[in-house]
Amino acid sequence: MEICLNNAVENITGQLQIWRRDFHKYAEAGWFEFRTATLVADELNRLGYQLQLGKEVIDADSRMGLPSAAQLAVQEKRAITQGALIEWLPHFSGGFTGIVATLDTGKTGPTLAFRVDMDALDLNEELTNQHRPHAEGFSSCNSQMMHACGHDGHTAIGLGLAHILKQYQSQLTGRIKIIFQPAEEGTRGAKSMAKAGVVDDVDFFVAIHIGTGVPKGELVCGSNSFLATTKFDVTYHGKASHSGAKPEEGKNALIAAAQATLGLYGIPRHSEGSSRVNVGVLNAGIGRNVIPDHALMKVETRGETNEINEFMYQQAINIIEGAAKMQDVKADIKLMGAAQSSHASPQWVDFIARLAQNKIPELTSVVKNRPEAAGSEDATYFMERTKTLGGQATYMIFGTELSAGHHNERFDFDENVMPVAVKTLATIALSLPEYGADHHE
């Protein structure tokens, strides 16, 4: 099987690069993945997968950080001009850009799910010849949208895996789902898909990422490095007034925001684990001689556990609301994103590690766990939902060389990581019967 699988992956390696570079060129930020989603759906449909699309896999009320209806409409029109497939677009219209593709083998067995994400960042890409995507003609053509985290590669890996699994359908058992998730950046999209029940029937779950500081050739089989997080916007509404003639009639939103910002950084750290707070954006006022009547803060809290993050969040809300009372202004707080902390299932990680060590010679190092706390990931909603219902879950990272760090305008990765990822994920699916039903938690 291994020789045949090698050949099958080698045969699609060129196509993986074509897909990746196409998605990179037409990068689409979260909830705007209209072109990407239509192309992915069309390819999966051509392969014969059972598809659930849009509102079938996204709970509308659980979406976070959703752009306005006007913004969504503008981006939908943009996607059409850039090659979005009209016949598929109604499924995704209005920011319902999620896809679940299912391969039912017709044979008894567990349900295995893989998650890949599709969205780009709100970032302008570097356009110099020192940056390979620009030099080779596939840099993003969309302003303030760039694949600077590798999700273009993830989407290509998902499509490549779909091709391989279809070729090997006769050797597979149970059901396999490939989840193409929108709006991972800002941790906005997974909760709505988990709420829609897309992993409620899943026995084994795998989310993937490339890079993240892991060396080329190394595979992390179970990352436990994700902090729980809450991301929210605060808008202070005050009252404008002439700063010279009638300052007493004004209600200063800027001062409220400034006081809140300083207060947030004074939240005590928690004794039971890592905690974070950050104000990433602070905008206020309109003129030198006007009492500022509005201010916007973009804030996030993080914690090593859900409980620590909740402590940080509640402390932050107290400070924000207290600052509003001090200046007699109103504070509107809007949830923009969230993720949980999560730990990979140890037995599932052990199984994947053994497979990788024995069957994927392209990997030079296999690491079971990456324990250090760093960023956040909303795949944790899928992981925790799967585990709560008795299944097992993990988060895998495929190491690769990077031209610059994630979320950087010069980000690029070694495309040779994509066929390695496809082969590894396909091997998991083909080897699942070896795991045995007795490992189902």
Residue 290: count other Cβ atoms within 10 Å of its Cβ. Answer: 13
Same domain for 167 and 45: yes
Q: Taking Cα atoms as reference points, which of 119, 121, 97, 113 lies closest to residue 207?
A: 113
131 marked among binding-site residues: no
pLDDT confidence of 254, banded at 50, 70, 90? very high
Which are the contacts of 173, defined by CB distance < 8 A and separation ≥ 6? 105, 107, 108, 109, 432, 433
- State which H helix or E strand residue 300 sits in: strand 294-303
163 marked among binding-site residues: no
Per-residue burial over 171-209, b if 16 or more Cβ lie within 10 Å, else e, is: ebbbbbbbbbbbbbbbbbbbbbbbbbebbeebbbbbbbb
Residue 305 CA neighbour count, 13 Å, CB half: 8
pLDDT in tens, 322-360: 999 999 999 999 999 999 999 999 999 999 999 999 999
CATH number at residue 237: 3.30.70.360
Asked, for residue 441, whether it belongs to a domain, the answer is: no
Same domain for 192 and 59: yes
Q: Which of 305, 338, 371 is the last residue of a domain?
A: 338
Average model confidence (pLDDT) across the chain = 95
Task: Please state the domain count of the chain.
Answer: 2
State how far the alpha carbon of 353 is from the alpha carbons of 222, 346, 350, in Å: 9, 10, 5
Same domain for 257 and 199: no
151 marked among binding-site residues: yes
Same domain for 172 and 59: yes
* The predicted structure's pLDDT at residue 226: 87
Q: Which of 338, 361, 386 is the last residue of a domain?
A: 338
- Are 180 and 28 in contact, with CB atoms under 8 Å apart? no
221 marked among binding-site residues: no
407 marked among binding-site residues: yes
Q: What's the domain range around 255?
A: 228-338
Same domain for 210 and 101: yes
Q: Which of 297, 312, 338 is the last residue of a domain?
A: 338
What pTM, to 2 d.p., does this model score? 0.93
